[in-house]
Chain A
Amino acid sequence: MKKTIFLLTIISLALPTLLNAQKVVFKIKGSDTCLPLSQMEAETYMKKFPGSSITVTGGGSGVGISSLLSGTTDIAQSSRKIKMDEKLKMQDAGKAFKETIFAYDALAVIVHPSNKVSQLTREQLESIFTGSITNWKEVGGEDLKIIVYSRETSSGTYEFFKEHVLNKKNFAPSALLMPATGAIVQSVSQTRGAIGYVGLAYLESTVKALNVSYDKGVTYVAPSVGTAQNKTYPVSRPLYYYFLTASEKQVKPYLDYVLSAEGQQIVMDVGFVPVPK
């Protein structure tokens, strides 16, 4: 009798742990670009493995990484690679970390739907965004002043665009800096001479996406999930999850799920580009 009770107790204690091997409790913080994707992934994960609790918040890539350093988040989501000084700070604090690319994001260059220009080379984009081309007629459009819209200087999207399209040059001082991607879409849709850049997931029918050429005008490629995935569309970037090596066990089930076929399908559904197998 005693033995059976003992065994039953053991089983009843072990059963939940066995069943809930994939039950996780942790926080994700960082890039606003990754926010809709991580939220959707976390929601479906929590539905699939009840009892899990994943809290996803935004704030920006820098916020996420500094929170990882201060221990207020378990995963930092970032739309840019960790910076050298951030890496050094992690090293100083004695915190080893790992990185995982969980999706790709393509940036679309958008203009007002009435704009006649439908394609630009990287060099033309550089001149427009750094302020040396200021009128649409210089790139084959009508005689109209170009209004440059950009994200705020601290956004990961801003830095990616600066590095990959502007050849690391600074944006023109006259560029209008918007606090959110949604505001760029709104402003570009109501301003005739506007040009801006947004993540593929934010592309709407109220604006027109341009085809971009990175080989001086030989081939122009339209931004889409397909062209970003086969790497013909040049303005795309990886999205990262950073986590401490010490908490790898805790976050692993979630990461595995995101990288699984099901998780990558969600990546597609939200408008991002899956990681190539």
Chain B
Amino acid sequence: MKRRMRKILEKITEGILFSSSTVTSLAVLLIILFLFREGLGIFTSTSVDRNNVLAVHSLNPVNELTTQQIGGIFNRDILYWDEVGGTHDSIILFTINEIGNYYNEEELGTDFEFLPQKIDELISHQPNMIAYFPNLYLAGNFHGKVLPHNKIGISEFFAGKSWYPTSEPAAQFGILTLILGTLWVTLGAILIALPIGLVTAIYIGEVAHPRMRSFFKPLIELLAGIPSVVYGFFGLVIIVPMIQKTFNLAVGETALAGSIVLAIMALPVIITIAEDAIRTTPVSLREASLALGASHWQTIIRVILPYSRSGIIAAFILGIGRAIGETMAVLMVTGNAAMIPTTFLEPVRTIPATIAAELGEAPYGGTHFKALFALGIILFIITFAFNTMVEFIRPRKSK
């Protein structure tokens, strides 16, 4: 009887363990599925909002405009139709808010019931006008030419250099600057964290007196527990003005500031894991080296470091993998200007910062929303690649 009870209890425990791990895995899969479903939707979206139309006069030779051209026209960088394949006439812009300049309220009707006819009339009278208005007001017998909505192309998305996600009428989703900005800041963080992390790991793992070690190790682990927003604030108030003064810059919010903050944040992970790798070097190897007459330093450089190489590399990749997705700290110190970086002393905009700053106000399910999820996919792929690399490097250690 007792055995039976125990058996049932074990079965129940097993069931709970099984279902909890299944639920966790399912949740992870669902999150990834959701991420991809929302993000890939960007390529079926249009840069001009679907509820609005762009229309020109029926005799205008222009039949199609790219997102860049629409952006250029409404930003008044493009002033003449011949720049986009039309006649040499200056472009007249019209958006729905300007209807008051052409017709008075009486003509439009109390409930704007005559608005569609009036827009139609206006465009028929203005051969050089490009009009942007809600398709709600598109007259049934519209005499102008409605330009087709272009889907956002893959090359436009990945190679585009302008990020104006809320620009009207044509939002511009070019993420090249964001990807480069992220990689640039990460590269800087690696360059800073690599030497410092390695030296500290060797010191704590090999050189330090046990008493020093028991003092340093918890201190470094404590660094990992500081909230990232505190690092960000520290960066904004201390590091940014420091960089500004040191390099005599006009502005201190730079990629370098982001790299320094990220490096500090990645260091606890790097040091802890690298130090573990160093300390797991078998005593037999160590003693063999010393027995052959090698000094302590020679043993560290010739025996211990080569032996724990894969563990050290894994430490760096994990540290950087954690840092690359860091949002708040970077958001506060890098300046977030969407430009392609050429030096470390320029502001950059990273993917996580963009998502954090913009997702809150992007209309749910809209093109901007999907573009941010697509950025999330890219970030996911980058960190996934980093973590997979660790999986490939680690097995070498067991040989």
Contact = CB atoms under 8 A, between A and B. Distances in A.
A85 B53 CA distance: 12
B285 interface: no
A175 B244 contact: no
Contacts of A176: 251, 253, 335-337, 347
B357 A88 contact: no
Contacts, number: 106
B113 interface: no
B81 to A, nearest CB: 20
A170 B72 CA distance: 10
Contacts of B251: 147, 176, 191, 193-194
Given A152-B357, A153-B165, A154-B358, A173 B339 contact: yes
A175 B74 contact: no
Interface in A193-218: 193-194
A168 B170 CA distance: 12
A179 B357 contact: yes
B363 interface: yes
A145 B32 CA distance: 45
B284 interface: no
A145 B366 CA distance: 37
Contacts of B241: 190
Given A153-B164, A153-B165, A174 B337 contact: yes
B257 to A, nearest CB: 12
Interface stretch (A45-53, A57-65, A248-256): A57-65
Contacts of A178: 336
Given A60-B360, A147-B251, A187-B253, A170 B336 contact: no
Size class of A's contact patch?
35 or more
A40 interface: no
A153 B250 contact: no
Contacts of A152: 336, 357-358, 361
Interface in B241-285: 241, 244, 250-253
B244 A154 contact: no
A88 B134 contact: yes
B75 interface: yes
B354 to A, nearest CB: 9
Nearest to A61: B361
Nearest to A145: B250
Contacts of B136: 88
A179 B71 CA distance: 25
A193 B250 contact: yes
Interface in A144-168: 144-145, 147, 152-155, 158-159, 168
Given A153-B165, A193-B250, A169 B332 contact: no
Contacts of B163: 173
B157 to A, nearest CB: 17
Nearest to A67: B364
Given A84-B51, A86-B363, A176-B347, A170 B167 contact: yes
Interface in B342-384: 347, 349, 356-358, 360-364, 366, 368
Contact of B339 (A59, A145, A174, A190): A174
Nearest to A144: B250
A66 interface: yes
A59 B360 contact: yes
Nearest to A70: B364
A177 interface: yes
Contact of A88 (B51, B71, B96, B332): B51
B200 interface: no
A17 interface: no
B110 to A, nearest CB: 18
A191 B162 CA distance: 26
B250 A191 contact: yes
B27 to A, nearest CB: 23
B317 interface: no
A59 B74 CA distance: 29
Contact of A154 (B253, B362, B364): B362
Contacts of A70: 364
Interface string B162-174: 1111111000000
Interface in A174-192: 174-179, 183, 186-187, 190-192
Interface in B206-257: 236-237, 240-241, 244, 250-253
Nearest to B167: A170
A89 to B, nearest CB: 8
Given A61-B361, A84-B51, A176-B337, A190 B76 contact: no
Contact of B360 (A63, A88, A159, A168): A63
Nearest to A130: B75
Nearest to B93: A168
Contacts of A85: 49, 51-52, 363, 366
B361 A177 contact: no
B338 interface: yes
Contacts of B361: 59-63, 152, 154-155
Contacts of A62: 360-363
5 contacts: A154-B368, A174-B347, A176-B251, A190-B244, A191-B251
Which 10 A-B pairs give the minimum distances between C-beta atoms? A154-B361, A62-B361, A60-B361, A176-B335, A177-B336, A152-B357, A145-B250, A147-B251, A154-B358, A153-B166
Interface of B: 49, 51-52, 71, 74-76, 96, 134, 136, 162-168, 177, 236-237, 240-241, 244, 250-253, 331-332, 335-339, 347, 349, 356-358, 360-364, 366, 368
Given A154-B362, A173-B162, A193-B251, 13 more contacts: A61-B361, A62-B362, A66-B364, A152-B357, A154-B360, A173-B163, A173-B338, A173-B339, A174-B339, A177-B349, A187-B236, A190-B244, A191-B252
